[in-house]
Structures are given as C-alpha cells and as structure tokens.
Amino acid sequence: MDINLVLVVMVIVIALAFDYTNGFHDAANAIATSVSTRALTPRAALIMAAVMNVIGALLGTEVAKTIGQGIIDISHYTSSADVGMQREGLVIVLAALLGAVAWNLITWWFGLPSSSSHALIGGLVGAGLVSMTTVQWGGITAHVIIPMFTSPCIGFFFGYIIMRILMRFLRNLPYHRTMRQFRILQTASAGAMALGHGLQDAQKTMGVIVMALVAGGYGHTHNIFDEATGDLTVPLWVKIAAALAISAGTYSGGWRIMRTLGRKIIDLDPARGFVAETVSAGVLYIAAFALHAPISTTHTITSAILGVGATRRFSAVRWGVAGNIVIAWFLTLPAAAAVAAGMFWVIRLFVGP
C-alpha cells in the first residue's frame, strides 16, 4: 500500500471536513444579525449564505497562496524525491488540520465564535515547530498577527462611526417604517457578508489541499505550479470541492454561535445589523483582494457588532459575553498549535519517520 497516497487522500478528506466545520461554525458570521432582526428567516438566510459562499470561494486564490506558502516552509519536503521526506511533509499538514478541527469543535460546543482561520494557522505553526520545519514568522506577523489586531479595531471603529453618522440622518424619520426598509437592505448586506466569508475562508482550505498535493509529489500531476512564475496555482477541482464543502457546512447551521452573535452580545435593530454587516464585508474584501491576508470573519463581524451596539450606549453591550469571546480569540492560536503538535507525534508513531 502506498502510505503517501493514503495520507494525501486523508488530508484532502479532513481538509474538506475542516471546511465543513468552518461553514457551520462561521455561518453565524453572515446571517446572525439578519436572523436576529427578523430581516430573514433562518432557513432563507442559510440558503442565501450557502449560495454566496460558493460564489465567493470561486472569486480568487490569493489568500489560498498565503496559506500554502506564507505560514510554514515545507519546500524541502515537497522538492525531495525521498518518499520518507514527502511523508513527513504530509504528516505536518495532516496534524495541522486535526488541530484546527479539534479547536473548531470545542468552541462550537461552547457557542464561542472563535476564528477558524486562526485555528488553521495555529495548527500549521504548531505542527511546523514540533517537526523543526521553518516557520515564516515574517509572513505570519504581516498576514496574521497584525490583521488579527487591526481588523477588529477597524470593524469596531467604522461600525461605531458610520452608525453615529447614520443616526443623525435617521433621527427625524418614523422609526418603524425606517426599520422595515433596513430589513430589506439587510438582505443585501448579509449576502455581501456571506460572499466575503466564502472568499476568505474557503480559500484557506484550498491552500492546505494544494500543500498536501505538492508534499505528496502530485504537484505537477495537477498543474499546481505556474510555468511562467513558478508560483502555486489552485486547480479548479480544488476550488469547487472547497466551495461546496463550506457551503454545505453553512447550510447545516451553527445555531449555538448564532445565538451568541445575534442575541447575547446586544439586541440589534435592522439599521445596526445592516451597518455591522456592511462594514465587515468591506474589511473582508480589502483584506482578500488588496492585502492577500487571511483575516478572521468572526473577529471582524463581532467587533463591528460591538461598535454599532456601543452607539446605543456602552452599557447596552454585554461586555462579559464579549470578554469571553476575546479570550477565545487569544487562546485559538496556541490551543490549535498545541493540539496539532500532539497529533504530529501520534500520526508519526503510526506511519513511521
């Protein structure tokens, strides 16, 4: 039996399973505000989010390249003709995925909207460190750590400022009729948010699958390397598989986290929901297209909700719930890294060095 082929298949299957958990874990990001304000029914919101996830996943590959090349350097495994070296590279990727999936399931169980993106990156770092693989700290700092802090700040700031400006324009208008109009607008803003979720999060799975194909010696078989530049490219079947997996996960729900985002942080009205979703979608698009940074959709939408909620009054935000979410954010990278490091040794024990 070709163990490397088995490992490649396992990585692809588990990567798509991670993509699925990402979908139901992060479904709340796109639709919680629309459901909580009754702009959309839960089922209609899920269908729309699932469709927009597929479309968003097919719009670009720059974030996938960042995941595939910018977090850890497994080139010495992928360029080797030694089957044992290739197997080591596959074990690293597999351990990283298992660490990310484990943390996703733990935070989903407790209803905490943590970042699937950071769980995956933490898994890659943990597996990379324990295997003595080069961790590209410069790329992590530029594409992960800095955006990890700046994207929530931007989401909160612009959510607060734009909502303040909007309130000045709306103060003399009839409240109930205005909120009905914003419920209609929320359909568009929720769709934009779901598109950004697909654009960001599905690409991360694409990057991991590409890493596995290259590590297993199947890079040229699937035309992964651009002949002109030598850069990684993402095969169409990988794009479609990742898009469908995250879409299926989104459609399956994620009700625990949806309740946290939609109801436990603050009671949203349609105007605040619209602003939070619009600001979050804008940040996601800029990060994907301009910065090629794999930012967290969870961090962005949660901070935007806090920002628009604070315009009502700061005491209206349930800061205790928000504090638990922030703690989960900070735990995600080291926790996923620790699980991935442990999984690396377990897998290596079974498949050998």
Q: pLDDT-based confidence at 205, cuts 50/70/90?
A: confident
* Interval 120-151: pLDDT, tens: 889 999 999 998 888 888 888 888 888 878 88
Residue 208 has pLDDT above 50, yes or no: yes
Confidence at residue 95, expressed as pLDDT on a 0 to 100 scale: 92
What is the Cα–Cα distance from 3 to 5, expressed in whole angstroms?
A: 5
Identify which of 31, 221, 7 has the alpha carbon closest to the alpha carbon of residue 113.
31
**At CA 23, angle to CA 291 and CA 131, rounded to 5?**
65
* Interval 152-184: pLDDT, tens: 889 989 999 999 999 999 888 898 899 889 988
What is the Cα–Cα distance from 108 to 133, expressed in whole angstroms?
A: 30
* Interval 224-244: pLDDT, tens: 766 566 667 888 889 999 989
Tell me, yes or no, if the pTM score tops 0.85: no
Determine contact, residues 100/26, Cβ cutoff 8 Å.
no
Confidence at residue 310, expressed as pLDDT on a 0 to 100 scale: 84
Cα torsion 334, 128, 200, 246: sign: negative
What is the Cα–Cα distance from 137 to 51, expressed in whole angstroms?
A: 35
Q: Kindly report the three-state secondary structure assignment for every residue of the chain.
A: CCHHHHHHHHHHHHHHHHHHHHHHHHHHHHHHHHHHCCCCCHHHHHHHHHHHHHHHHCCCCHHHHHHHHCCEECHHHHCCCCHHHHHHHHHHHHHHHHHHHHHHHHHHHCCCCCCHHHHHHHHHHHHHHHCCCEECHHHHHHHHHHHHHHHHHHHHHHHHHHHHHHHHHHCCCCHHHHHHHHHHHHHHHHHHHHHHHHHHHHHHHHHHHHHHHHHCCCCCCCCCECCCCCCECCCHHHHHHHHHHHHHHHHCCCHHHHHHHHHHCCCCCHHHHHHHHHHHHHHHHHHHHHHCCCCCHHHHHHHHHHHHHHCCCHHHCCHHHHHHHHHHHHHHHHHHHHHHHHHHHHHHHHHCC
Angle between helices 236-251 and 3-36 (to 10 degrees): 50
* Interval 257-290: pLDDT, tens: 555 554 555 567 889 889 998 999 999 999 888 8
Determine contact, residues 72/124, Cβ cutoff 8 Å.
yes
Q: Which residues pair with 263 in a beta bridge?
A: none
In sequence order, the 6+-apart residues with CB closer than 8 A to the CB of 335 are 103, 106, 122
Confidence at residue 81, expressed as pLDDT on a 0 to 100 scale: 64
